[in-house]
Amino acid sequence: MKSSLAPFIALAVLALVPLMGIGNYPLHLLIMVLLWGYVYTSWSIMGRLGMVSFGHGAFLGIGAYVVVMGWNSYGLSPWFGVPIALALTAIVAFLIGYPCFRYKIVGHYFALVTLALSEVTRLIIVALRDQTGGSLGATPKTALAETSWSLGALQFSNKIVWFYVILVFWLLGLWVWKKVDESMGRLALEAISQEEDASASIGINVTRLKLGVTMISALMTCIGGALYAQYQLYVNPETVSGIGISLQMVFGVIAGGMYVRLGPTVGAAFTLLLAEGLRLGFGNKYHALDSTVYGLMLVLFIIYMPKGILGAAMEAMGKRSAPQPKPYSR
Amino acid sequence: MSEVFDIFLLESVLNGLLLGGLLALLSLGLNLIFGVIDVVWICYAELIMVGMYAVYYFHVVFGWPLLLAMLMGILIVAMAGAALHYFVIRPVLAAEPINQLLVTGGVLFFLQAAATLAFGIEFKNLGVTFPPIVVGDISFSMPRLIAFVTALAGMLGMYLFLTRTYIGTAIRAISQDRTIMPLMGVNPNRIFLVTSALGGGLAGLGACLLVLQYDIHPAIGLSFGPITFLICVLGGLGNMVGGFIAAFIFAQFISVGGFFFAIEWGYVIAFLFFIGMMFWRPQGLFTK
Amino acid sequence: MSDAAGNAMLRVEDVSAGYDGFQALFGVSLEVNAGESVAVIGPNGAGKTTLLRAISKLIGVTGGDIAMEGRSLKSVPAHEVIGYGIAQVPENRRLFPRLTVAENLKMGGFLPSARARHDERLAYVYSLFPRMKERSGQLAGTLSGGEQQMCAIGRALMSGPKLLLLDEPSAGLAPVVVQSIFEMVKRICAEGYTVLIVEQNIRQVLKVVDRAYLLETGRIKQSGPSAQLLASDEIRKAYLGI
């Protein structure tokens, strides 16, 4: 009884936080943690099943840029831009996912192929510089000149609105995670990540399962990209696509713990606060000192705490965590 | 990069051939590491970046002769490769493969940021210019020709090393059967270290050739890291011959594609070709 | 066995070993004297291969000690064992399939001390197995089973060992070939090598070796000269089906 109520109490407290008059900056951090928590959760939905994608920057980039470009170049409301971005994401995810899963391109191969995908997406954004602004990035034309919010343009000047919007998506992400677990069943879960041949013989269509999970994960990430663009009102090829952000996602998830539902969110909080802390701590005196230390800490982290913060903590408490399929077998 | 692609299609084809030699050299190092240690260095191109800065500093800042500076660059990257294995890869050799991939991704972050910290984001170059070589209507860039010839020589040297020496044979043997190597009196850890230094040395050689053609900046690795990965995957990871051929195919796409469109589109076309190939020959073009 | 008191070439004393969480050897002791050929026989899963792996230090020894010519191997890492004059022919040959026969042999002589004598050792191995000379440029993976065994034994001989450890040389080979393998083992013994051989093919191996130990579930059950074991009721009933 007590344990089943606890998450709801925690959620209620979380939902009340922005109303307690915390400053703009802490609120911004909280929004970013939830937003990246949502994106990292989306990544983990496929990542923890052994499909380690280094290419989610592609989906994030499509979500962000299609919506912003639709609005800027064609005056297309994000309400139409998002479905277009989703359709494009679905096509790309299929083109990459189908041959990989059909022909069992796994492990290092899959990681490298997806890594290239994210980089190619970045290159396309840069190459379309006439429309996208190239590597300088782009700002959605403001609809807030006379009002403080515009539902049609999906622009809100009040951060509290964004907090609740993103909170809803974050919860949705956690819910999808749970649904994927439930609907697939333990057998399929294990089959998908290790015993491919064995599961094929008991009638599980591994290719279709993997493709389905990949679609869900990619589409959710795409929405994350759109949310990011609309909240920040600025997109840059480096921050929403390419190798950097793709690796960052995987780092965040590993840091938090891939096999625990709140792991990705913990990872998002950890990496974000670490990066912010280092940035504030070192100031702007030495350009890139903060990211140097950040990179070093990531390396040490992976070597010495491979299960992630939450994973390690739960292990220390002797708690049984969710089923842990092997990340992938070669 | 785009100024190299102009005038003639034939010229782009020939330039693509020259680029292919260079890409083949880059993929060789990555394939060597993967074939022997079963680990992919995501940060491979960043090691090349380190090598480019090393050559730049020894030549331009410390005033060493170019060839000496290049030797120093190769040496430094070789040592960096060995250090990468010793300090980063070795502790995670028994860990899950995703962590092995990710840890070198962390090194990528680290090297990029550290290079920004140490050298700033300004573009640097050797300030060495070569006259183009003109044959009839076609002109070649001298650095490309040098890169092509040196890359082929480097690969030949690597081939001889792997087939003629004890250590080289052991490197090939360990990729086929790791567990019985101690029965031959071979210390696998030592072979891994030597292989890592060799892989680093190849990256260093690549750096020497690239620094003749391109400006140096902390993110330069991103310009050819992903294409190197694709080449290795297309040729079959760890398959050095496959990587060699795939490098020349990709170079044509980049060069000729870049001739018709902007250079970025050359990469995009190469990638689309790659996706198409996956539907056709999913296990790599040249799997054994 | 009067000299068993102190000058055995290989002395295995009260050795326990296993794989993580699973103990395969329980206090095994045996000796091999210089010039002798000794077999360890026993059923599948008795721990025979584990014993050879323990001697070669491929797996950790949890108790007891192994000494070669009086020198303990306790703190010797696996890749240095061959330097003590111990060469092993692993189970299933384990050749490097994509190296040529000559390259496989070259790997057997990897030790710096062996490299200096490479040509001499190679000529010796070729004289022992002329077939290997004919096949020297062929990839080892394309050899027949019997040829692979020749190559594996040749590879072990390249280091110029004093003691040769043979792990199930007849396993997985056709009956016709098995016969020739034991001929080969006999020749190796005649060449003056000290041999410790592990085999399931008990009838055949006992015809070749001087002495044998019977290993069952990780413990030595019986030992003695081959003829004596061949005549033992227990062995005849349990393993020879007589």
- Taking only the tens place, the pLDDT of each residue in A136-174 is 888 888 887 777 778 878 888 888 889 999 999 999 999
Written as six digits, the tokens of B232 are 């290795």
Q: Which two tokens stand for residue B5?
A: 């692609």
Render pLDDT for B52-64 as a digit per residue (tens, 0 to 9).
999 999 999 999 9
* Other CB atoms within 10 A of residue B130 CB: 13
The pLDDT assigned to A301 comes to 85
- The distance of A29 to chain B (nearest Cα, Å) reads 23
Q: Which residues of A100-113 are buried (b: 16+ CB within 10 A; e: fewer)?
A: bbbebbbbbbbbbb
CA dist., res. B126 & res. B214, Å (int) = 9
- The pLDDT score that the predictor gives to residue A326 is 40
Mean pLDDT of chain A: 84
Determine which of C96, C105, C118 to mutate to test the interface with B (most B C-beta atoms within 10 Å).
Answer: C96
Phi and psi angles of residue A307, each rounded to the nearest 5 degrees, phi first: -90, -5
**Interchain CB contact of B111 with A (< 8 Å):** yes
* Among C217, C233, C229, C224, residue whose Cα is nearest residue C28: C217
Token pair for A200? 């094929």
**Cβ-nearest to B177 among C96, C103, C159:** C96
Residue A213 is given by DSSP the state H
pLDDT at C226 exceeding the cut of 60: yes
The answer to whether B271 contacts chain A (CB < 8 Å) is: yes
d(CA B245, CA C48): 47
A92-127 pLDDT, tens digit per residue, is 999 999 888 877 777 778 888 898 899 889 989 988
> What does the pLDDT look like over C72-102, one tens digit per residue?
999 999 999 999 999 999 998 899 999 999 9
In angstroms, the CA B18 to CA B12 distance is 10
Rounded Cα distance between B196 and C218, Å, is 41
Q: What is the mean pLDDT of residues A263-282?
A: 88
Range B146-162 burial, b when 16+ CB lie within 10 A, else e: bbbebbeebbeebeeeb
Contact of C142 with chain B, judged by CB distance below 8 Å, is answered with no
pLDDT at A329 over 70: no
Token readout for C141 is: 């993976």
| Contact criterion met (CB < 8 Å) for B271 and A116 | yes
Q: CB under 8 Å to B209, separation ≥6 — which residues?
A: B22, B25, B143, B146, B147, B150, B151
Max Cα–Cα distance, chain C, nearest Å: 51
Cα B184 to Cα C89: distance, rounded to the nearest angstrom: 10
d(CA A286, CA A279): 10
Range list of β-strands (E), chain A: 149-150, 155-156
- How far apart CA C36 and CA C34 sit, in angstroms, is 5
Write out chain B residues lying below 8 Å of A301, CB-based.
Answer: 106
User: Cα A80 to chain center, whole Å?
Assistant: 22
Residues of C in contact with B182 (CB under 8 A): 56-58, 77-79, 81-82
Can you tell me the distance from the alpha carbon of C105 to that of A293, in angstroms, rounded to the nearest whole number? 49
Mean pLDDT is lowest, of A269-273, B130-134, C21-25, for B130-134
Instruction: Tally the residues of chain A.
Output: 330
Contact status of C92 with chain B (Cβ, < 8 Å): no
Pick from B212, B198, B197, B218: which is nearest to B49 by CA? B218
- For chains A and B, count residue pairs whose Cβ atoms are closer than 8 Å: 151
Hey, are the CB atoms on A105 and B282 less than 8 Å from each other?
yes
Q: C219: which 2 tokens?
A: 């413990």
Q: Name the residue in chain C with its Cα closest to that of B176.
A: C96
Say how many CA atoms lie within 13 Å of A133 toward its Cβ: 15
Q: Which residues contact C37 (CB under 8 A, 6 or more apart)?
A: C185, C189, C194, C195, C196, C197, C208, C209, C210, C211
Closest partner CB to B166 (pick from C79, C82, C115): C115
Using alpha carbons only, give the angle A281, A282, A286 rounded to the nearest 5 degrees: 170
Q: How far is the C-alpha of C153 from the C-alpha of C166, rounded, in Å?
A: 8
Tokens 């403001």 belong to which residue? A142
Query: Does residue B5 surpass a pLDDT of 80?
Result: no
Could B103 and A327 be called an inter-chain contact, meaning their C-beta atoms sit closer than 8 Å? no
Q: Is B41 on the interface with A (CB under 8 A)?
A: no
Closest chain B residue to C88, measured at CA: B183
> In chain C, which residue's Cα lies nearest the Cα of B288?
C98
- Nearest of B1, B40, B8 to residue B259 by alpha carbon: B8
Residue range B2-121+140-280, CATH number? 1.10.3470
Q: Report residue A94: phi and psi, to 5°.
A: -70, -45
Spatial distance between the Cα atoms of B195 and B185, rounded to a whole number of angstroms:
17
pLDDT of A320 higher than 80 = no
Q: Are B144 and B15 in contact (CB under 8 A)?
A: yes
Q: Give the minimum alpha-carbon distance from A275 to chain B in angstroms, rounded to a whole number.
A: 13
Instruction: Give the helix/strand (H/E) hosting A82.
Output: helix A78-102
Among A2-6, A182-186, B231-235, B282-286, the minimum mean pLDDT is found in B282-286
Asked if the Cβ–Cβ distance from A298 to B106 is below 8 Å, we say: yes
Inter-helix orientation angle A263-282/A24-47, to 10°: 140
Average pLDDT over residues B128-156: 85
Question: Which of A167-181, A193-207, C223-237 is most confident?
Answer: A167-181
Residues of C in contact with B172 (CB under 8 A): 96, 98-99, 103
Q: Could you give the 3-state DSSP secondary structure of residue C24? A: strand
φ, ψ for residue C222, nearest 5 deg: -160, 150
Closest CA of chain B from A91, distance in Å = 13
User: One-letter amino acid identity for A134?
Assistant: G
Which residues share a beta bridge with C194?
Answer: C163
Q: Using the structure block, give the residue that is written with the tokens 């490769």.
A: B81
Buried b or exposed e, range C5-19, using 16+ CB within 10 angstroms? eeebbbbbeebbbbe
User: Which candidate, C10, C67, C43, C4, places its Cα nearest to that of C219?
Assistant: C43
- Residue A133 has φ and ψ, to the nearest 5°, of 85, 5
Let me know: does C95 contact B172? Beta carbons within 8 Å. no
**Residue pointed to by tokens 């062995």:** C235
* C170 in reach of chain B (CB within 8 A): no
Please write the tens of the pLDDT for every residue from C95-135: 999 999 999 999 999 999 899 999 999 999 999 999 999 99
By C-alpha distance, the chain C residue nearest B172 is C99
Query: Is A109 within 8 Å of A55 (Cβ atoms)?
Result: no
CB distance B62 to B123 below 8 Å: no
Say which of A99, A299, A306 has its CB closest to residue B88.
A299
- How far apart (Å, rounded) are the C-alpha atoms in residues B268 and B251? 12
For residue range B65-107, list pLDDT tens digits in order: 999 999 999 999 999 999 999 999 999 988 877 788 889 999 9
B-chain residue closest to A127, CA distance: B264
Q: Decide: residue C176, CB within 10 A, 0-12 exposed, 13-18 middle, 19+ buried.
A: exposed
- Contacts of residue C184, Cβ cutoff 8 Å, sequence gap at least 6: C149, C150, C153, C169
Q: Which two tokens stand for residue A103?
A: 């022909």
Dihedral-angle region of residue B166 (phi above 0 means left; psi in -120 to 50 means alpha; beta otherwise): alpha
